[in-house]
Structure 1
């Protein structure tokens, strides 16, 4: 085939040359994609290994342990001998499912969640809206100040609040009405809720603030052109667009509340009437340590699995209710 005399136009001198170039380009493109995929897996490998070691493997081990119990190896009247792991099937899970102590503790944390989570999420949302407004200057200072309690280890924060709640030690109990007792059976859940709210409000505030800063500014400008006030912008634009962030914070709060441990464990040291099974997480830990019966890794793992199942059910119910509400 004769080459064209027009500049910038070249014709192949051999039949099928264009097809060969396209095939070669596809092969090079496929090779590049495979190479990029290998690089991606190489970068993701450290995370995948650590995720498997610290998350997946413990879950699998816990599931396995839930079907075993430690029983004496001896055969005499009083057992005797070393403790050995024995397969007991669903006995551990059935014992947890029929345990009044477990369900009483679960009732406490559900009641705790019903009033603590709305208050914490509401305060976090209000703080985020305030920091995202034009009213506050030096946003970085307030953002760090609100987040600072979350940086304090949970057990240290619980010990600090126990000090503030103890009448003989607290610096402000003398200024409260006579008879105020933050560790009475009727108020101790509210006292622990105050600890959790103080610790995690700043964290949830950052989640809301990040979602607010992702909202396009054009929406605000259009609303102001239409004459919307600051309150209308907040209630009709900002809050409705925080639905995803609210779902995340509430789900994390539900899971965290089911695992409530630091606050009641510290409070129990000064209030023995609470018992070692005040919450399901305390019950699981003390079962593992042998301070409550049944004890051992098997019963403790069974409690953990029941807690995970209940947390999943509560989270699913919340998501379902939210979806139904958003469709209306």
Structure 2
């Protein structure tokens, strides 16, 4: 579990002490001092985004720090996006009344927080235990929700692979149906087969292509930022190079079939040009499909342990 610990520079010794948590927790404590006018830099934002939990150490000093408030605001936005608990406040100084604190800290008065105001060795050890126990409880809840049988991520990867392979299979069927010369493609049996495979492809892609966008956040939650970025590259290729690219270009061949009886059969030069375009469209799809198969296999492998 990756944990980001937000704190004032003056509280760093305590932050480092509290970060000594059990091995299942990887705590990230920034060692730099930020100046009052600085904005959150990309390193901080990335560290927060890559964390499973955001811990903020609340003291009178941190309540007055602009960048701590910025980090909290960013973390609360992430919590809303995740639709689960993400921020754990830890009060490290006695006598702080969160109900009268300035935003964004005031909201913590109405939620779980850890009292780590006892700075004695025993008090710090107790606070570490409370933090670790809380995080373990959260992690258990997430596993129960996301993986009630312990295999949700595997089943997710299997489902994604099945959909990607089905997309390839249906597109291969359309490509194969268009592999014959136009005079053959206009025969009744060929037309009926083309309509069948084309309709099956269209029905599947009407659900599949929009669904790819819905998976982005789920992949980030399940597998992390690197997997999400890889998925974005794969889906960009599918949309631009395959669906809206080489696959869409096959419509030119279908239009030639529709125009065969009324136009092309009576105009040999036009028929020859249309046949040349059909061959080119089908040939252009071949390397794109080969790359799609390779990209799909490589990406799905990254999701499996």
TM range (shorter): under 0.3
Q: TM-score, normalised by structure 2?
A: 0.25
Using CA pairs under 8 Å that are at least 6 residues apart, name the structure with larger relative contact order, 1 or 2. Answer: 1
- TM (norm. structure 1) is 0.24
